[in-house]
Structure 1
Amino acid sequence: MANYFSIFLVVVTLASGLIWLLDHLFWAPKRKAAGVSDVGAASASVSDDVAEAPLPAVVDTAQQIFPVLAFVLVLRSFLYEPFQIPSGSMMPTLLVGDFILVEKFAYGLKDPVWRTKLVETGQPERGDIAVFKYPEQPNLDYIKRVIGLPGDRIVYRDKQVYLQPACEAENQQNCPKLEPLSLEFEKRGEYYQNLMPLERYTETIGDTQHQILRNPLPPIPSRHLYNGSREFVVPEGHYFVLGDNRDNSRDSRFWGFVPEANLVGQAVAIWISFEFDRPPSSWVPGWIPTGIRFERIGGIE
C-alpha cells in the first residue's frame, strides 16, 4: 500500500491539466487563426465551428481525462482512499480479502506527495484503527489499532495490556493508575495459528469494544521486544499501536512508536470482502476470489 500511485496520479493530473491550459491560452487561438486564414478567401463570414482546426490527439485526450483524474485525486487524497487487507494481523476485525475505506481527513488534511499537514482536523483516539506509513520502511502502509496516545504508559505482560493515561497533574496521586484493559473471553477454536486454536476475547479500551485473538502458547521473551522491555512510555507526537491478532502481528511491541507525520487516516468501513478458499492443487490462480462475504460489508469497530 505504498504511495507511488498517489505520486503518479498527481503527475498525470498536473500534466493533463497543463496541456489543457496551454491549449486554451496558446494553441487553440493559433488553430482558429489558421482556419480563418485557410477559408477566408472563400467566405466573408466564417463561424468559429468552421474555422477552427481539429484538436490534436494529445489535447483531446487531456481534455477528456483531466476532470476524471482531478476528481479521483481530490477524493483519494483528502476524503477516502481504498485499501486491501493483505495479512491476518488484524483478525478477527479485518480478514485477508477485506477491502476497506480509509478516511483521509480524520487526522488532518495532507498534501498527497510530501504529506505535509495543511489543515488540522483531528487526532487519533484510543481504539481507532489507523493506517500509517511503517516507520522502518515508509514506502509501506500498515494498519493497526491505536492503544497509546502521547504520554501514555503501556505495559504488556502475560499477554495482557495495561494502560496508564498521560497525566499533567503536579500531584501524581491525582493521576490515573496503571490498569489492565478489560477482557472478556468469548470462544476458542474459531481461528487457528499453526494448528493451534486461538482464543477470542472482547477487549475494552475507553468507550471502544473490539475483538482480539490470543494464542495460548507462552508469551514472547522480553529480549525480542522493542528496547528489550515490556513497558513503553509513548513519546510526544507519537502513538502506540497493536494488531488485534496479538500473537501474529508485528507492531509497536517490536519496532516502537508511530510518528504523527506517518499517519494516513482512519479505517472506517469495509466496502467489499472476497473469499479465497481454494486448495493449492487448483489450476485457477490464487488471486481470483471464490466468493463474496456480503455479511462483512459495513462499518468497522
Structure 2
Amino acid sequence: MAVYFSLFLVLATVVTGVVWVADKFYLAPQRRLKLADAIAERGDALSDEAKAKISEPNALTDTAVQVFPVIAFVLILRSFLYEPFQIPSGSMMPTLLDGDFILVNKFNYGLKDPVARNKFWENGLPERGDIVVFKYPVDPRIDYIKRVIGLPGDRVIYRNKSLYIKPACQPTDDVCPEFEQVVQDFESKGEYVDNGFELTRYTSNMPNKTHEILVNNNTLPRTAHYFNQAGTQRDEFVVPTGQYFVMGDNRDNSLDGRFWGFVPEANMVGEAVAIWMSFGFERGEDSLVPDWMPSWFPSSVRFSRIGGIE
C-alpha cells in the first residue's frame, strides 16, 4: 500500500507540476495579453466581471496550481525527511505500543527515490540498537519495525532468552572481539500480560544503547522454528555483508529475524525517532467508550507517550 501511495504522490506531483509550469510561463501570460487586448478594444465598457473571466484560469488549471506546492512539499517531506507510521502490534513493547503513531527519519540512512527506492545519496547506516522500519524481506509490500541487534559480520546467539553478541572483526582491531552477553537487569513483573502470563520487564544493556524488553519466562524458546543458517547452530546467526539482524523488544511475541533471517540494507526505510501521537483502545468498566464501539475506535489519547524514542 505504501508503494502505491508513493507512486500516486509522484504522479500527482508531476501532473500538477506540469500544469503549474505551463500556467506560469504560457497560460497566464496569454491571459494577460487577452485582457490587454480586450481593454484596448472596449475600454471602460469592459466590466469587472468580464475582466475576471478573461484573466482567471479555468477551474482545473486553478486547482492544479493551488495544489502543486502542497503535494510537492508532502512528497519531499515524506520521501526524503520524515514519514509517519502507525504501530499495528505489540512486538516492540514496552518501547512502542499498539496505537503509537511514530515519525521515521529517512535521511539518516541515505536518500532513496520514492518509487524504485534506489539510493542516490549515502548519509549513514543503521547502528546496533536503532529502531528501524524496513520492507519485510519475505513480502516487501509490508513494512516492519524492529530493533537492530546484529550488524554486518556480527555473530549473534539468542539462547535461553539471553542475548550474546560477537561484533565483526575490523581491520583496525589488534585482537578480534569475543562473544559478550548483553546484561539484562530486572525491572518489574506484572505490568504487561500475555495470554494470562505476566511478562517480565528488563533493561537490556547493549554495547552502545540501553533499552527495555519484555520476556515471557513461562514459555519455552521456539528454537525449532528459527531460521536455519548453514554452518551455524540453530540459535546462532552470522550476519551477512550488507544485511542486518533484527529482533522485537517483546522477545516472545515478535516475528523477527530469528524466524526469517536478515534484512538487506536496501530494504531499510529509516529510523524511528519520535512518537507524535498515541491512542489507547482499552475497553471495560473504566473506559469512556462503550464495548459496542468498533475495536479500532480509540478510547483515550496517551499524551504521556508523545516524544522521542529510545
TM-score of the alignment, normalized to the shorter chain, above 0.5 = yes
Between the aligned partners of 1:150 and 1:118, the Cα distance in structure 2 is: 21
Between the aligned partners of 2:237 and 2:297, the Cα distance in structure 1 is: 42
Partner of 2:301: 292
TM superposition shift of 1:38: 4.5
Between the aligned partners of 1:28 and 1:295, the Cα distance in structure 2 is: 51
| Counterpart among 231, 255, 271 of residue 250 in structure 1 | 255
Matched, 1:187 2:193: no
Partner of 1:198: 199
* Larger deviation, residues 274-283 vs 130-139: 274-283
Partner of 1:234: 239
**Percent of residue pairs identical:** 57
Between the aligned partners of 1:237 and 1:193, the Cα distance in structure 2 is: 35
Between the aligned partners of 1:154 and 1:292, the Cα distance in structure 2 is: 38
Q: Which amino acid aligns with 1:126?
A: R
Between the aligned partners of 2:247 and 2:127, the Cα distance in structure 1 is: 13
Count of paired positions: 300
Partner of 2:157: 155
TM superposition shift of 1:33: 4.0
User: How large is the RMSD of aligned CA atoms in angstroms?
Assistant: 2.5
Partner of 2:83: 81
TM superposition shift of 1:193: 1.1
TM superposition shift of 1:36: 4.3
TM-score when normalising by structure 2? 0.89
Partner of 2:2: 2
TM superposition shift of 1:156: 1.2
SS of aligned partner of 1:206: coil
- Shift of the 101–170 alpha-carbon distance from structure 1 to 2, 3 Å rule, reads closer
* Larger deviation, residues 137-146 vs 280-289: 280-289
Matched, 1:41 2:41: yes
- Shift of the 170–123 alpha-carbon distance from structure 1 to 2, 3 Å rule, reads closer
SS of aligned partner of 2:18: helix
Between the aligned partners of 2:205 and 2:40, the Cα distance in structure 1 is: 80
Between the aligned partners of 1:87 and 1:218, the Cα distance in structure 2 is: 20
Does the CA contact (< 8 Å) of 2:99 and 2:278 recur in 1? yes
Q: Which consecutive residues of structure 2, in runs of 5 or more, have no partner in the other structure?
A: none
Q: Which amino acid aligns with 2:223?
A: S
Q: Which amino acid aligns with 2:110?
A: G
Does the CA contact (< 8 Å) of 1:169 and 1:175 recur in 2? no
* Larger deviation, residues 238-247 vs 275-284: 275-284
Q: Which amino acid aligns with 2:176?
A: C
SS of aligned partner of 2:42: coil
SS of aligned partner of 2:204: strand
